Amino acid sequence: MPRHADCKICTMLETAPPENLVLDGEHWGVVAMREAAGVLMVFTRDHDQGVGSISDAAAAGFGPLIKTLSAGLSASGFEKTSVISLGDNAVHTHFMLVGRKPADAPIFDNTPLMARLACKEGERARAVAGRLRDGLKNSGLTA
């Protein structure tokens, strides 16, 4: 894949110290973030337009990758793994995996999310859910 000189994620992958590089794969890359134990940046190797545009191969690998990384964090003493999607500011689909140690407070305060849930867009919410159901039926997914 061509590297874009001004791409922060390509540059991060190329300049990551070997001890911070977790995966330099064909479809996904994973870099441990600096000095923060249990914090990983997971990103597509392709430049894409966000999670809806990732390659089929990247999509197929996503679940097993996240599960394996989370199990690895668990084996390293983290009791929960949060997946934070960061899709708006780079040309790679990317996520942060953040392990939570037993004594740590939960990473998220649900207040901003709950405020969103308080809006009254029921008709639109049901229409979006219907389109998603139709899309899943047409995809052949049965999970």
Residues in the chain: 143
Residue nearer to Zn ion on the CB measure, 9 or 65:
9
Contact status: 9 vs Zn ion (CB under 5 A): yes
Is 42 a residue that touches Zn ion (CB under 5 A)?
A: no
* Nearest CA among 5, 24, 25 for reference residue 16: 24
Beta carbon nearer to Zn ion, 10 or 30? 10
Which one, 11 or 68, has the nearer CB to Zn ion?
11
Closest distance of CB 89 from Zn ion, Å: 12
Q: Is 9 in contact with 92 (CB distance < 8 Å)?
A: yes
Q: Can you tell me the distance from the alpha carbon of 65 to that of 22, in angstroms, rounded to the nearest whole number? A: 11
Report how many residues bind Zn ion under the rule CB under 5 A. Answer: 3
Identify the sign of the CA torsion 108, 112, 115, 120. Answer: negative
- Of residues 2, 6, 7, 138, which one binds Zn ion by CB under 5 A? 7
* In contact, 47 and 4? CB cutoff 8 Å: yes
Looking at the Cβ atoms of 2 and 140, the one nearer to Zn ion is 2
Q: d(Cα 132, Cα 16) in Å, to the nearest integer? A: 38
**10 to 29: interface string for Zn ion, x by CB under 5 A:** x-------------------
- Give contact residues for Zn ion (rule: CB under 5 A): 7, 9-10
